[in-house]
Structure 1
Amino acid sequence: MINQKTVALLGQHVQLIDLSRPLEPTVSEPTPPRIQRISHQDCAEMWEFMFGIPSTALPNGLGFAGEIVEASTHASTHLDAPWHYAPTSEGQTAWTIDEIPLDWFAGQAIVLDVSDLPTGYLIEPEDIEKRLEKLSHTITPGEIVLFCTGADAVWGTEEFFGYGCGLGEEAVLYLVDLGVRVIGTDAWSLDRPYPMIGNEWATFQDPKRLWSAHFAGIKRKYCQIEKLTNLSQLPPVGSTILCFPIKVKGGSGAWSRVVGLVPAG
């Protein structure tokens, strides 16, 4: 659901656009999260067992609801840290998600619509340049570039895992060298689909075809956001994105409630 509420933020009225998917069991995830739900009644019984507090002492005889979640830090909408790609980046120990400067996760959003490109297409720097030219926009350091592949249409199906175009090393390095530190996509991966990469290995056995966007992180420090949603609700230029990750100690990635701020009116 898109939150269209207008709020005042830093002296400006903005609409809040939810760009995050729920953390939930779904066939779109090869390893879906598992959520164990603790009911209000369960909690009341637990307190009686632990502390001897009878349920009759509680409002309506009930305690607190809760959940126990078992999930990959790369499930749902999340950020990948440089440590995810390799143990080193730029010749030094790669940063984990809790070590990345907070200013990386707030910036002007540039949304590039690549939904016209077929699944499996490898996005090159020239493709990015052409779309930026159409927007009459020049990338400035700190901007966050988001790719709208059209994967929204197949979320909730098994097709999502194998859907969409993706970036390669050259496209990632092109953006990072312009000062972009966070790159996002609404697809399952910033790379081309995993099943396609895996199937190609049997034919080509070419290491350069293997997750070249991710492995670009060995040469340059950068983060990527995967499994975004509602990118079509953002203007191509002019919105702000907030994508602060959960502070997982030593994490290769972490979930994020990504929000777009669109100037009202």
Structure 2
Amino acid sequence: MNPRDVDVVELLGRRVRLVDLSRPVGPTPSEPNPPRIGPVSHEDGAELWEHLFGIPPEVLPTGTGFAGEVAELSTHAGTHADAPWHYAPTSEGERASRIDEVPLSRFVGPAVVLDVSDLPTGHLVSPEDVEERLRGIGHDLAPGEIVLFRTGADEAWGTEEYFGYGCGLGREAVLSLVERGIGVMGTDAWSLDRPYPVIGGEWREKRDPSLLWPAHYAGAERAYCHLEKLANLAALPAVGATVLCMPIKVEGGSGAWVRAVGLVPVEP
């Protein structure tokens, strides 16, 4: 983990360590449809002001304008939250919520980090797997907690292998968590489901619709949100941290980028 991903601040009367749980948004081999970021230079900024207002660059305090970027990217690029609308047009018999309709309170809560990095790529995580990991950390889930799965995909970020790395949740695992009051869950892998190449390969072999993105399609039955492409989950304790993962307010969006942060209490 980069040391810049950690900082210590005073917050609400307590010292906490801030752990950056987010991926940078930019071109990377880990994204099949990588973001495209076009720089706007300081010189470009000066030219714009001259074009708009007739202000010549030489009268500007630094002789240059302001730099910027123009981005073209999916709302599911980088670390992001999926809204129920992403999974299906309806959930629990009603129109599914867009990302700007999900209450912000849903994206703040105690973090429960479950280490599933020993499970092989392509493993379908079951409710029994989840229970085993909870017993391993001696924790009973409570409503409002945010459950994060550390698959180990972190290590493959920046490579093409990331897209096909890690285990993923099955329908029953997702629904069992939602039934227990978990409205947000997340993963450090590309998807909360098993890797897409694994799912595609199974379809060609088995033609079994129940194996097609069961974690996502579970959202058509019970409304929930999930986070994908998280980072640095190994820097969080299994329990005891708080996660903030507010999505950008994309109007009518099926998802949105998140700057996810873990708050870890620091002893005085």
TM-score by length of 1: 0.99
Task: State the partner residue of 1:122.
Answer: 124
Distance 1:45 1:250 in 2: 35
- Misfit runs of 4+, over 3 Å: none
Match of 2:157 among 155, 158, 166: 155
**How many angstroms does 1:64 deviate by?**
0.3
Secondary structure in structure 2 of the residue aligned to 1:238: coil
Residues 102-251 of structure 1: matches in 2 within 5 Å? 102-251=104-253
Cα deviation, 1:144-200, whole Å, max 9, x if unaligned, reads 000000001110000000000000100000101000000100000000000110111
- Deviation of 1:50 (Å): 1.5
Give me the CA root mean square deviation.
0.7
Identical residues among aligned pairs (%): 65
Q: Which residue of 2 aligns with 1:45?
A: 47
How many angstroms does 1:53 deviate by?
0.4
Partner of residue 18 from structure 2, selected from 11, 16, 19: 16
Query: How far 1:5 moved relative to its partner?
Result: 2.0
Q: Pick the aligned partner of 2:65 from 63, 69, 81.
A: 63
> Between Structure 1 and Structure 2, how many residues are aligned?
265
1: CA distance between counterparts of 2:148 and 2:254? 21
> Secondary structure of 2:85's match?
helix
Q: Give the superposition deviation at 1:232.
A: 0.2
The structural deviation recorded for 1:46 is: 1.3
Q: TM-score under structure 2 normalisation?
A: 0.98
Unmatched segments (≥5 aa) in structure 2:
none
Equivalent AA in structure 2 for residue 212 of structure 1: P
Secondary structure of residue in 1 paired with 2:256: strand
Q: Following the alignment from structure 1 to structure 2, what is the Cα–Cα distance between the partners of residues 213 and 106?
A: 22
Structure 1 unaligned blocks of 5 or more? none
- Note the C-alpha offset of 1:45: 1.0
Which whole-Å CA distance do the structure 2 matches of 1:138 and 1:12 have between them?
25
What's the CA shift for 1:41? 0.6
Q: Give 1:60 deviation, angstroms.
A: 2.2
Structure 1 letter corresponding to 2:253:
G
SS at match of 2:128: helix
Deviation at 1:3, TM superposition (A): 3.3
Residue of 2, 5, 26 corresponding to 1:3: 5
Matching residue's letter, 2:30: S
* Distance apart, 1:9 and its partner CA: 1.2
